[in-house]
Amino acid sequence: MDRRAFGCDGEPGPVARAQEIPPFLAMDVMSDAAALERAGRDVVHLEVGEPDWPVDEHVVEAATKALRDGRARYTVTEGLLPLREAIAARYHARYGVEVDPDRILVTMGASPAFFLAWGALLDEGDEVLIPDPHYACYPGQIAFLGGRPVRFPLDAARGYAFDFDALRARLGPRTRAILLNSPSNPTGTIASRAELDRLGGLGPWIVSDEIYHGVEYGAEPADTMLRHGDRVFVIDGCSKRWRMTGYRLGWIVLPPAFVRCARKIHQNYFLCAAEPAQLAALAALRGPQDSVTRMVEAYDRRRRVLVDGLRRLGFRIDYEPSGAFYVLAGAEHLGTDSVEIVRRILHETGVAVTPGADFGPSAARCLRFSYAAALERIEEGLRRLEPLGRR
Ligand X SMILES: Cc1ncc(COP(=O)(O)O)c(C=O)c1O
Please, which of residues 21-60 interact with ligand X by CB under 6 A? 49
Query: Cβ 112 to ligand X, closest distance in Å?
Result: 7
Measuring CA to CA, which residue among 210, 213, 195 is closest to residue 154?
195
Which one of 187, 208, 239, 291 is in contact with ligand X (CB under 6 A)? 239
Terminus-to-terminus CA distance in the chain, angstroms? Answer: 57
Which one of 88, 110, 346, 353 is in contact with ligand X (CB under 6 A)? 110
Which one of 119, 149, 214, 237 is in contact with ligand X (CB under 6 A)? 237
Q: Between 180 and 313, name the residue whose CB sits nearer to ligand X.
A: 180
Burial 163-178 (b: 16+ CB within 10 A, else e): eeebbeeebeeebbbb
- Position 79 contacts ligand X (CB under 6 A): no
**Length reported for the chain:** 391
- Position 245 contacts ligand X (CB under 6 A): yes
Q: Between 111 and 192, name the residue whose CB sits nearer to ligand X.
A: 111
Stretch that binds ligand X, among 106-114, 218-226, 264-272, 365-373 (CB under 6 A): 106-114
Q: How many degrees, rounded to 5, is the angle at CA 221 between CA 115 and CA 217?
A: 105
CB 232 within 8 A of CB 104: no
Stretch that binds ligand X, among 76-84, 107-115, 193-201, 306-314 (CB under 6 A): 107-115
Please, which of residues 167-186 interact with ligand X by CB under 6 A? 181, 185
- Position 362 contacts ligand X (CB under 6 A): no
Stretch that binds ligand X, among 78-86, 108-116, 145-153, 155-163 (CB under 6 A): 108-116
Binding track over 123-152 against ligand X, x by CB under 6 A: ------------x-----------------
Query: Cβ 228 to ligand X, closest distance in Å?
Result: 19
Q: Between 90 and 344, name the residue whose CB sits nearer to ligand X.
A: 90
Q: Between 324 and 388, name the residue whose CB sits nearer to ligand X.
A: 324
Q: Between 91 and 135, name the residue whose CB sits nearer to ligand X.
A: 135
Q: How far apart are CA 322 and CA 309, in angstroms?
A: 17
What share of residues in the chain are helix, strand, coil (percent, to 5)? 45, 15, 40
Which one of 30, 58, 101, 111 is in contact with ligand X (CB under 6 A)? 111
- Position 322 contacts ligand X (CB under 6 A): no
Q: What does each C-alpha distance from 262 to 11, 104, 145, 277, 342 come to in angstroms? A: 35, 10, 14, 21, 38
Q: How far apart are CA 245 and CA 61, in angstroms?
A: 16
Instruction: Tell me the site size for ligand X, rule CB under 6 A.
Output: 13
Q: State the residue number with the nearest CB to ligand X.
A: 109
Greatest Cα pair distance, the chain, in angstroms, is: 62
Q: Which amino acid is at 371?
A: Y
Torsion of CA 383, 386, 387, 388, to 10 degrees: 120
Measuring CA to CA, which residue among 358, 347, 360, 375 is closest to residue 46?
375
Query: Cβ 113 to ligand X, closest distance in Å?
Result: 8
Which one of 29, 105, 128, 211 is in contact with ligand X (CB under 6 A)? 211
Which one of 51, 131, 250, 356 is in contact with ligand X (CB under 6 A)? 250
Question: Which residues have a Cβ under 8 Å from the Cβ of 390 and sit 6 or more positions away?
Answer: none
H-only helix segments in the chain: 16-19, 25-38, 57-68, 81-95, 110-121, 138-144, 164-170, 193-200, 259-269, 275-286, 290-312, 338-349, 375-389
Sign for the CA dihedral angle at 166, 167, 171, 174 comes to positive
* Interacting residues toward ligand X by CB under 6 A: 49, 109-111, 135, 181, 185, 209, 211, 237, 239, 245, 250
